[in-house]
């Protein structure tokens, strides 16, 4: 049977199919056109930027770090350009160790260089260029350049390096820079200034380099570079130049700094000298020192071990965080407190038999047999302990605390360095907050006695001691101590003072200040430092101090020659000069060096001789045009020292150990006696809370 096809029907089906196909094709083309319009019109700018970012690479241009100079323009920290051999680990296709071994045949690569490179790899991203050797010689650069084709991913870069041309001089003050570690990188990325630190590999780690990092760093620029699909640079499209960091002009006289550091020799200690009227720090000495250049590229293991394990603690910033009992340098302030609080008059005198009884405890004076009749002037000039035992008992610990606080004791000075230690100015509240056990929290009256002579719980930094004597010599006008005097713009060279005005004024009576100053002048004329300041062409005021570094057993006579050197007393001295209008005030401590007149005072004399007269050690002093204000009396009316008379026996023997007699007839005070300070060792270099030390042997001052 033959099937008859319906041609008309099939034709209609074909047309329908063709129409559907046409609609589908039209819709598809419509969608493509819409997508095209979306990409080219609506999202044009976004994708254009993406394309440009693939074509253009933005490379940070790190600014030149600012310079650090002293008050006379001597450069203390500068930059220099040198070549660096760098490896980009992501571009190394062979074994990295093999590549380094081959490089070592062309360039001197030491084991310490390999260790530093490995450490940098752990802290950095693999696509970053990392140095394997820095500061290449011209010969090394030429040798590598000839073999450059053999080492894809290895290149030579010209970079700026930080240098400290004076080496160990003033290292604790200047500090140093170093490579940014992982922790610092995370902190920078999360900060408000993260964009400005892109490409930065070095930041300040210690000292002024750290505290003024933002000023010294400058503003990062950038280069827009066209790159090929393979990532190779084709051409430089544009450049936004970086802005150099600001320069720092210090208040420090680096020549004065050198003289003082040389005077210390191999001894440990610190000295801070301040210009009272401005707060400018003229010298900031911490001994021993270290070479900050060792840290710039990462210190080697041997050098680090030597510095970190040395018993002399060369990395310890003593003026800032070293905490010491002030000894008898505390006495002028105790005397001033008694005048201001109405507890004593200059004429009021006591009889000193050589000891002070408090309860069943005998607190000894420094002089066997005592000083006899002692008024306030004599108590400072001859440094009579008994006078201040008695005075401390009358004042009470809280009155002492409240008076000393505005002078700067136990307070942060606000110096422009980080991690300043507060020290300890004891009070009843301080003890309650410091100790946990109730029996330890109670303040005993006997503890106040040793505080009166600068022992006990008293513990202050050399910076605080210098700040206090500066405030006293400046008649109670407090200027914040600072190392950076001015910040100089890296572009305009405009300068701005860092401390333009006073912080506050201590309400002290001028008559009382003048009396204390005259007594401190007496110390240098006929007192404990008369020998050190003999024939000085200027008039100065000062006070010696001898502070116990560790306690001795009761009934044991102190003999420096028979105990370990590191357990001997510290030598201290505070001073200001010229006496009428002080230009310099200082505090110096020589650790474990004995009596203040023997070690600390001579260093103070050298510092003042140079700063006031230009005299260097072993050179004749130049006369000072004016040394006394004629409107002021030469000596206080209550006690006039006769400078024409021979120096007193006490002063003449100030540099010699005085015999110290212990009382063997009295029973030993047992631990826990509420009237007796605890007997403990005092480690002045550790951040632990200071404890009171045995005040009973009364070291000469």
Q: Which residues are catalytic?
A: 328
CA distances from 336 to 339, 346, 388 (A): 5, 10, 12
- By three-state DSSP, how is residue 241 classified? coil
| Tokens 């101590």 found at | 481
Q: Which residues pair with 269 in a beta bridge?
A: 287, 590
- By three-state DSSP, how is residue 558 classified? coil
Distance of CA 514 to the CA centre of its chain: 33
Q: How far apart are CA 276 and CA 673, in angstroms?
A: 43
- Cβ contact 580:475 at 8 Å: no
- Cβ contact 327:572 at 8 Å: yes
In degrees and rounded to multiples of 5, residue 409 shows phi and psi of -70, 130
- First and final CA of the chain: distance in angstroms? 142
Signed CA dihedral, 161, 162, 164, 168: sign only: negative
Q: How far apart are CA 589 and CA 586, in angstroms?
A: 10
- By three-state DSSP, how is residue 374 classified? strand
Signed CA dihedral, 582, 272, 462, 606: sign only: negative
Write the DSSP string, 640-664: ---TTSPPPHHHHTTTSPPP----T
Q: Which residues pair with 695 in a beta bridge?
A: none
User: What does the block give as tokens for 362?
Assistant: 């005998």
Q: What residues contact 645, with CB distance under 8 A and at least 6 apart?
A: 526
| Tokens 């970190």 found at | 308
Q: How far apart are CA 153 and CA 143, in angstroms?
A: 17
- Cβ contact 535:289 at 8 Å: no
Q: How far apart are CA 682 and CA 31, in angstroms?
A: 85
Q: What residues contact 386, with CB distance under 8 A and at least 6 apart?
A: 350, 352, 353, 354, 355, 356, 363, 365, 370, 371, 374
- Cβ contact 586:574 at 8 Å: yes
Q: Between helices 397-404 and 385-395, what is the axis angle to 10°?
A: 100
| Tokens 């005097």 found at | 485
Cis peptide before 578 (omega within 30 of 0): yes
Helix ranges (DSSP H) in 324-444: 331-340, 376-381, 385-395, 397-404, 428-434, 438-441
- Between CA 526 and CA 530, with CA 527 as vertex, the angle to 5 degrees is 70
Cβ atoms within 10 Å, residue 568: 21
By residue count, the chain amounts to 701
Which region, left, alpha or beta, applies to residue 301 given φ > 0 means left and ψ of -120 to 50 means alpha? Answer: alpha
Helix ranges (DSSP H) in 474-509: none
């Amino acid at each position: 049977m033959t099937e008859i096809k319906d041609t008309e029907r099939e034709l209609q089906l074909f047309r329908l199919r063709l129409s559907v196909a046409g609609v589908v094709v039209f819709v598809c083309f419509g969608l493509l056109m819409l997508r095209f319009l979306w990409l080219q019109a609506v999202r044009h700018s976004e994708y254009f930027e993406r394309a440009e970012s693939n074509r253009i690479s933005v490379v940070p241009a790190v600014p030149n770090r600012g310079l650090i100079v002293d008050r006379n323009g001597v450069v203390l920290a500068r930059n220099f350009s040198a070549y660096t051999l760098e490896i980009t680990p992501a571009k190394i296709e062979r074994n990295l160790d093999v590549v380094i071994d081959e490089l070592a045949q062309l360039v001197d690569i030491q084991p310490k260089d390999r260790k530093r490179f490995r450490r940098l790899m752990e802290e950095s991203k693999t696509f970053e260029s990392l140095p394997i050797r820095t500061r290449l010689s011209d010969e090394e650069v030429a040798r590598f350049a000839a073999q450059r084709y053999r080492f894809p991913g290895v290149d030579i870069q010209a970079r700026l390096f930080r240098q400290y041309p004076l080496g160990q001089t003033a290292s604790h003050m200047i500090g140093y820079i170093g490579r940014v570690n992982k922790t610092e990188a995370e902190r920078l990325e999360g900060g408000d200034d993260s964009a400005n630190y892109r490409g930065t590999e070095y930041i300040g780690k210690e000292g002024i380099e750290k505290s003024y990092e933002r000023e010294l760093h400058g503003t990062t620029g950038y280069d827009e570079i066209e790159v090929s699909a393979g990532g190779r640079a084709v051409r430089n499209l544009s450049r936004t130049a970086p802005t150099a960091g600001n320069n720092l002009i210090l208040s420090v006289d680096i020549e004065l700094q050198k003289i003082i550091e040389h005077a210390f020799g191999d001894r440990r200690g610190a000295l801070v000298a301040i210009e009272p009227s401005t707060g400018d720090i003229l010298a900031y000495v911490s001994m021993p020192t270290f070479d900050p250049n060792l840290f710039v590229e990462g210190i080697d293991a041997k050098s680090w071990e030597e510095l970190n394990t040395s018993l002399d603690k060369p990395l310890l910033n003593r003026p800032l965080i070293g905490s010491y009992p002030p000894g008898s340098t505390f006495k002028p302030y105790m005397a001033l407190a008694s005048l201001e609080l109405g507890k004593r008059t200059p004429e009021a005198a006591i009889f000193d038999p050589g000891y002070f009884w408090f309860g069943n405890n005998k607190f000894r004076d420094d002089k066997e047999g005592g000083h006899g009749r002692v008024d306030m002037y004599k108590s400072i000039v001859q440094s009579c302990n008994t006078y201040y035992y008695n005075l401390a008992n009358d004042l009470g610990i809280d009155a002492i605390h409240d008076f000393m606080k505005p002078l700067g004791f136990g307070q942060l000075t606000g110096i422009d360095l980080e991690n300043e230690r507060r020290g300890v100015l004891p009070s009843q509240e301080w003890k309650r907050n410091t100790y946990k056990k109730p029996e330890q929290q109670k303040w005993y009256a006997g503890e106040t006695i040793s505080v009166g002579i600068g022992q006990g719980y008293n513990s202050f930094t050399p910076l605080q001691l210098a700040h206090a004597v500066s405030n006293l010599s400046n008649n109670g006008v407090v200027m914040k101590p600072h190392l950076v005097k001015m910040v100089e713009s890296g572009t305009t060279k405009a300068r701005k003072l860092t401390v333009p005005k006073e912080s506050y004024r201590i309400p002290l009576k001028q008559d009382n200040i003048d009396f204390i100053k005259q007594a401190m002048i007496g110390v240098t004329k006929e007192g404990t430092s008369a020998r050190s300041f003999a024939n000085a062409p200027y008039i100065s005021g000062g006070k010696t101090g001898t502070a116990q570094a560790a306690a001795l057993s009761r009934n044991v006579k102190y003999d420096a020659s028979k105990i370990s050197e590191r357990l001997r007393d510290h030598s201290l001295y505070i001073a200001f000069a010229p006496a009428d209008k002080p230009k310099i005030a200082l505090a110096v401590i020589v650790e474990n060096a004995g009596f203040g007149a023997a070690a600390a005072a001579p260093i103070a004399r050298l510092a003042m001789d140079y700063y006031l007269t230009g005299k260097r050690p072993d050179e004749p002093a130049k006369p000072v045009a004016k040394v006394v204000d004629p409107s002021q009396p030469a000596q206080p009316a209550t006690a006039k020292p006769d400078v024409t008379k021979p120096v007193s026996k006490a002063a003449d023997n100030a540099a010699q150990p005085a015999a110290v007699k212990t009382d063997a007839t009295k029973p030993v005070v047992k631990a826990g006696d509420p009237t007796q300070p605890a007997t403990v060792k005092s480690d002045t270099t550790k951040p632990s809370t200071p404890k009171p030390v045995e005040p009973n042997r009364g070291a000469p001052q």
